[in-house]
Amino acid sequence: MASPPSDLRLWAVLALGPVFLALGVLFLAAPALGALVYGVPEPGGVGRTYPRAIGARDAALALDLAGLSLFSTRHAVPVVLAASLVIPACDLALILSAGTAAWWQVAVHAESAGVLALSALWLAGRGRSA
């Protein structure tokens, strides 16, 4: 059963959606700027496909979170948020291994991981007590 519209958990997860959707649109529409935000050098030519793939991934995550929040059980959302930690963990590993990222680019990925982890923990904890 989905959360009722008055449930703060629903709105907290739905608030993450526009953030990931905006990132997705940025990477799809402006791959050079997306690469800068991500923490890698701007790719040229066919290499611009990679930032766009990141954009598609982020947009899909936004839609997944919205769909799960509105139409799934309250237990599914924290599981998906926790599983989604693979995304920023891999992103961090990739930019650190490339050695091209500035501190703020590393911080963006670490913050993303933190938000996903804290949200998953908060939602899982609330789900058990409800």
Instruction: Report pLDDT digits (tens) over 29-38.
Output: 999 999 999 9
Q: What is the mean pLDDT of the chain?
A: 87
- Whether residue 3 is contained in a domain is answered as no
The number of folded domains in the chain is 1
Structure tokens at 125: 């904890």
- Structural domain of residue 15, as residue ranges? 8-129
pLDDT in tens, 6-21: 677 778 888 888 999 9
- Whether residue 1 is contained in a domain is answered as no
Q: Which residue has the higher pLDDT, 13 or 82?
A: 82
pLDDT above 60 for 1 = no
The pLDDT assigned to 3 comes to 57
Structure tokens at 94: 């990739």
The structure's pTM equals 0.80
Residue 102 makes CB contacts below 8 A (sequence gap 6+) with 39
Alpha helices in the chain (DSSP H): 8-29, 31-38, 49-71, 76-83, 86-98, 103-129
The pLDDT assigned to 42 comes to 84
pLDDT above 90 for 123 = no
Distance CA 108, CA 85 (A): 14
Question: Residue 68 carries which side chain, given as an amino acid letter?
Answer: L
- Whether residue 39 is contained in a domain is answered as yes
pLDDT in tens, 49-63: 889 999 999 999 999
Distance CA 31, CA 71 (A): 32
- Whether residue 2 is contained in a domain is answered as no
Distance CA 44, CA 118 (A): 36
